[in-house]
Amino acid sequence: MSLPAPPHVDRGDRRRLPQLLLGIVLFVVAELVMVAVSVVATILAGGDGAQGAEPWALLLGAAAGSAVAVGGYLLLVGPLGRRPGLGLRGPGKLAELGAGLLAGTALISLAVGLIALLGGYRVTGFSASPQLLAPLAIGIGAGVIEEILFRGILLRVLDAWLGSWAALGITSLLFGLIHMTNPGASLVTALGLVIEAGILLGAAYLLTRRLWFAIGLHIAWNAVQAGVFSSTVSGTGEQRGLLLAEMDGPAWLTGGAMGIEGSAVTVLLGLVVGIVLLGLAARRGHLLPAARVADRLPAAQA
C-alpha cells in the first residue's frame, strides 16, 4: 500500500515514468508549435519571419502552444495516468487563476518599487504606443507551457516518488538551468531563478495542489515586467511597455541583461514569498513525505 496522502492530495495516478518522459516531449512540441505558428503567421501576413514574428503573431503562437500543452497534459494524466484533469480539475479555477494574476502583478510591482527606492529604476514618462501584445505572449507562453512541464508533470511526479521537499529542490534547479539558454544568462542568474521563481512557483502549486494559481502568477510576473515596466524578461530583449523608464546601477540591483527578475531585490522577495506559501502549504497538509521504494515502483511501471 502507498503512504496515506493528506486531504485533497492525490497520489494515486499511474504510469508515472511514461508521464514524465512524454511530458518532456510535450514541452518540446508545444514550444516548437509556439515558434512555428508565430513565424508562419507573420509570413502569411506579408512580414519577414527572419526578422522576428509580429507581436500579434507571437500572441497567436503562444495561444497555440498553450493549447497543445494543456491538451497533451490532459491526455497524459487522463487516459495514461488514470486521473483525468489532475492539477486542473475541481471548482474555483477562475478564482485561483485570478489570485495568481493579482499576486504576480503585486510581487513584480513591489520589486520595481524597492529597486526604484534604491536608485536602480526611474520612470521618465509614458509610452504613446506601448507594446502590449508581445509581453502578453511572453506571459502566456511561459506561464502555461512551463508550468505544465515543471509543476504539472515534473513536480507532481517527483513529489509522488521522492516527497515534496526533494521534488521542489530538483524542479527549482531544473527551472533555473533551462533558462541558462536565454540571452544574457549566466550561472549566477540561473541560481537566482532557482531561488526566486523555482521555489515561488513550486510553492504556489503545492499550496493549491493545482496549476491555476501558479499559471496566473507566472503570466502576470512576465507580462507586467515587460508590458508595464518595460523590462526585458529573462534576457528576451528590450521591451516598450506603458512606462518609459531608465535603469541605472550595478547588475545585482537592476538585474542587468536578465531584467528586473535578475535583481537581487526580486530574488530575495520571491524567496520570502515562496517560503510563506510553503508554510501555508504545510499547514494545509499539502507537503508529502517520500514514498517507500516498494510503493512507488508499481505506480511508475503500471
CB 239 within 8 A of CB 131: yes
Q: Which residues contact 98 (CB under 8 A, 6 or more apart)?
A: 216
pLDDT for the residue 51: 75
| Nearest-angstrom CA–CA distance, 126 and 177 | 35
* Relative orientation angle of helices 293-301 and 16-44, to the nearest 10 degrees: 50
240: left (phi over 0), alpha (psi -120 to 50) or beta: beta
Angle at 202 (CA atoms; ends 200, 204), nearest 5 degrees:
70
Strand, helix or coil at 243? strand
Tens digits of pLDDT across the chain (302 residues): 333 444 457 667 888 999 999 999 999 999 999 999 999 999 998 887 677 789 999 999 999 999 999 999 999 998 888 887 778 887 889 999 999 999 999 999 999 999 999 999 999 999 888 889 999 999 999 999 999 999 999 999 999 899 999 999 999 999 988 877 777 667 777 788 888 889 999 999 999 999 999 999 999 999 999 999 999 887 676 788 899 999 999 989 998 888 898 899 999 999 999 999 999 999 999 998 876 544 444 443 33
pLDDT for the residue 153: 95
Q: Which amino acid belongs to residue 13?
A: D
Cα dist from 163 to 58, 168, 298, whole Å: 37, 9, 16
* pTM of structure: 0.90
Instruction: Tell me the DSSP string of 180-214.
Output: GGSTT--HHHHHHHIIIIIHHHHHHHHHHTSSHHH
pLDDT for the residue 240: 85
For residue 20, how far is the Cα from the chain centroid? 18
| Nearest-angstrom CA–CA distance, 66 and 73 | 10
CA nearest neighbour of 296 among 13, 7, 8: 13
Cα dist from 225 to 15, 88, 93, 219, 268, whole Å: 38, 26, 24, 10, 17
Could you tell me the three cell numbers for 125?
514618462
| Nearest-angstrom CA–CA distance, 253 and 76 | 42
